[in-house]
């Protein structure tokens, strides 16, 4: 790990100082030799906070955290079946900034910005500029939820909803909490892993005071993403009464072994986080080199059931377009 990169700067400063230069990243990690395997993307450029880079191993081109963020020439290979909008989300947003895919809940893309650009991201081609909720759209969203009384949960997503300021986030919370039908507000975020300081006192206090159940679903793919500082902040969030769950993506060469997955579940649990979903990769254009065949994912899953207690085994799922739920992988196909 690169300890000298770890600072005590606040999360906003860390966000603004994220590494966006491939040259700088390779220099820090002493990996100039791998340059021939990478490229400089014109869209969805490199972006990675220094605190996350500090968890990587110098000189290791196979570091599981590095491979999630470093652009690879393989992204430029067009593969049949891998498309820009693998979940057909562009057809499921009746109002700007809102997706309604599941009956009892809606998802709000309150920002298009992320602290980190993960190369397998299924929304890397999503038109955020056309889907940011304006003040007018926000009113329409509230009206839509009110009319659709079956909706009892709102998911804040993006981008990353914790990428916005507390002031803006709290304004959304105030508005949503004013709707009596809502019982749960869910926050999908990668920030606690890449800039742990984002879970600051003001945020945790506000979330702990919500009349709604607050569920925070973090996105952690490898136990190396959780260092001492990250663990401390997650434990503080759990102590504040926030339900913490994790969703991971199964990634070739990064977390596709029983040992790595078991270690991840155990590490998460030690921080107060329960494994929730293990996603088979969404077939987004540019990410085919991360994909694992379904048979291998099923074999991995059965092995996990053998070494972990049931509560530490995430659900193996695939998200498919125009389905009203996450689709469980049929693990009996290979049993």
Q: Do 139 and 36 belong to one domain? A: no
Query: Do residues 220 and 193 make contact, with C-beta atoms less than 8 angstroms apart?
Result: yes
Q: Do 51 and 100 belong to one domain? A: no
Q: What's the mean pLDDT in 45-50?
A: 96
Q: Do 164 and 71 belong to one domain? A: no
Cα 170 from Cα 164, distance rounded (Å): 10
Tell which wins on pLDDT, 20 or 133: 20
Cβ neighbours, 10 Å, residue 65 = 23
Tell which wins on pLDDT, 81 or 307: 307
Q: How confident is the model at residue 4 (pLDDT cuts 50, 70, 90)?
A: very low
- 314: pLDDT strictly greater than 80: yes
Tell which wins on pLDDT, 248 or 334: 248
Average pLDDT, the chain: 92
Q: Do 160 and 44 belong to one domain? A: no
- What DSSP line would sit under 237-285, residue for residue? HHHTT-EEEEEEE--TTTS-SHHHHHHHHHHHHHTT-EEEEEEPPP-BT
- 244: pLDDT strictly greater than 80: yes
Q: How many domains does the chain have?
A: 2
For residue 9, the enclosing domain spans: 3-76
pLDDT above 70 as % of the chain: 93
Q: What is the CATH number of the domain that holds 281?
A: 3.20.20.70
Check residue 133 and give its pLDDT. Answer: 77
Q: Do 70 and 95 belong to one domain? A: no
Q: Do 164 and 16 belong to one domain? A: no
Check residue 8 and give its pLDDT. Answer: 64
Query: Could you report the per-residue pLDDT of 60-75, keeping only the tens digit for each?
Result: 999 999 999 999 999 8
Q: What's the mean pLDDT in 328-333?
A: 89
Query: Do residues 138 and 175 make contact, with C-beta atoms less than 8 angstroms apart?
Result: yes
* Within a domain: 213: yes
Joined tokens for residue 196? 């742990």
Q: Do 97 and 71 belong to one domain? A: no
Cα 14 from Cα 31, distance rounded (Å): 23
* Within a domain: 82: no
pTM over 0.75: yes
DSSP 109: E
Check residue 42 and give its pLDDT. Answer: 85
């Amino acid at each position: 790990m690169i300890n000298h990169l770890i600072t005590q700067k606040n999360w906003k400063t860390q966000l603004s100082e994220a590494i966006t230069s491939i040259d700088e990243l390779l220099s820090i990690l002493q990996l100039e030799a791998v340059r021939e395997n990478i490229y400089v993307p014109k869209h969805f450029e490199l972006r990675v906070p220094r605190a996350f880079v500090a968890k990587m191993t110098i000189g290791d081109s196979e570091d599981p955290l590095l491979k999630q963020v470093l652009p690879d020439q393989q992204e430029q290979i067009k593969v049949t079946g891998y498309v820009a909008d693998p979940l057909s989300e562009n057809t499921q947003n009746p109002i700007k900034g809102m997706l309604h895919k599941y009956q009892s809940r809606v998802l709000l893309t309150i920002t298009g910005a992320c602290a980190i650009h993960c190369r397998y991201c299924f929304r890397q081609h999503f038109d955020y500029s056309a889907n940011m909720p304006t003040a007018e759209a926000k009113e329409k969203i509230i009206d839509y939820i009110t009319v659709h009384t079956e909706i009892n949960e709102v998911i804040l997503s993006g981008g990353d909803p914790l990428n916005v300021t507390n002031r803006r986030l709290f304004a959304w919370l105030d508005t949503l909490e004013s709707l009596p039908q809502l019982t749960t507000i869910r926050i999908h975020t990668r920030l606690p892993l890449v800039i742990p300081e984002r879970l600051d006192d003001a945020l945790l206090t506000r979330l702990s005071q919500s009349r709604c159940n607050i569920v925070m679903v973090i996105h952690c793919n490898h136990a190396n993403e959780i260092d001492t500082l990250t663990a401390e902040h997650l434990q503080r969030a759990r102590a504040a009464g926030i339900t913490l769950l994790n969703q991971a993506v199964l990634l070739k060469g990064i977390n596709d072994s029983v040992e790595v997955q078991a270690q991840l579940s155990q590490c998460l649990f030690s921080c107060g986080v329960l494994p929730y979903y293990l996603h088979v990769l969404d077939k987004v254009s540019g990410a085919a080199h991360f994909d694992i065949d379904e048979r291998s994912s099923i074999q991995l899953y059965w092995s996990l059931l053998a070494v972990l207690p049931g509560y530490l085994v995430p659900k193996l799922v695939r998200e498919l377009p125009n389905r009203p739920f996450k689709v469980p992988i049929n693990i009996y196909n290979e049993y």
